[in-house]
Amino acid sequence: MNDSVRTAEIQAHFERFTRSVGTLSKEAGRAVGEVRLVAVSKNFPIEDVVSARGLGQRVFGENRVQELLTKVLEAEALGLDVVWHMIGHLQTNKVRQVVGRVALIHSVDRRRLLNAVEREANKKDLVQDVLLQVNVSGEETKGGFTPEETEAVIFERERFPHVRIRGLMTMAPFFDDPEDAAPVFHELRALRDRLSKKYDMPELQELSMGMTNDYPQAIREGATMLRVGSALFGSR
């Protein structure tokens, strides 16, 4: 596929998805711009990122550290004005490579990782924005804090002066009927609202939830960030 055909394909995907998000947001009584898109560029080349940036998309998410670092360098070499988020599982031994290189880590899912991010951010004399990954559904195959563990971390947040907790993230199980994901998203929003009020944390704003298969339900339940790849770039 030549570059112009691929660019046109991505443009068609983005326009279709943007219209869908706008319609769903309006139906849910959400303000324009309240739902933001993290374009998941995993397994797509930097040329696709360039095309998406040309359409106005600035925030991109990567699942794997090595691919993230490669794309960061490629984007810098091209002078591309983009923002990177780490959205996949992060091993503690790779924290050093990520802290300070991304605007937001969505997947802080355990104490050991949180401690590692704090240590590395301290070494680099910066504050790293993160989301706490919550295993709302209780699936054994998924990582994440329980709601109770999430509250304990929030309660002890002053122990992590170099980490700024901006909100919560979850991954709903894959359901044949995406409507079944709605209660998972609803519970995450309820947890965010309760913790923000109880601990006087107006900065606890973000809800990263909803992917290609269940983003309509996530929008309806209050998502502020959608993590979407194939709906934007096509199948991998």
CATH number of the domain enclosing 151: 3.20.20.10
Helix (H, G, I), strand (E, B) or coil at 151: helix
Helix (H, G, I), strand (E, B) or coil at 105: strand
Provide the percentage of residues in the chain whose pLDDT is more than 70. Answer: 99
Number of domains in the chain: 1
The confidence score (pLDDT) of residue 139 equals: 83
The tokens for 26 are: 């309006």
**Spatial CA neighbour of 233 closest among 49, 23, 19, 70:** 49
User: Which amino acid, 194?
Assistant: R
The confidence score (pLDDT) of residue 1 equals: 66
Q: Are 34 and 219 within 8 A, CB to CB?
A: no
User: Which amino acid, 75?
Assistant: A
Range(s) of the domain holding residue 118: 3-233
Q: Are 59 and 38 within 8 A, CB to CB?
A: yes
Distance CA 52, CA 76 (A): 16
The tokens for 10 are: 């991505």
What lies within 8 Å, CB to CB, of 64 at 6+ separation is 42, 88
Distance CA 89, CA 64 (A): 8
What lies within 8 Å, CB to CB, of 51 at 6+ separation is 6, 7, 10, 11
Helix (H, G, I), strand (E, B) or coil at 141: coil
**Residue spans of the chain under pLDDT 70:** 1
pTM across the whole model: 0.96
Distance CA 207, CA 133 (A): 10
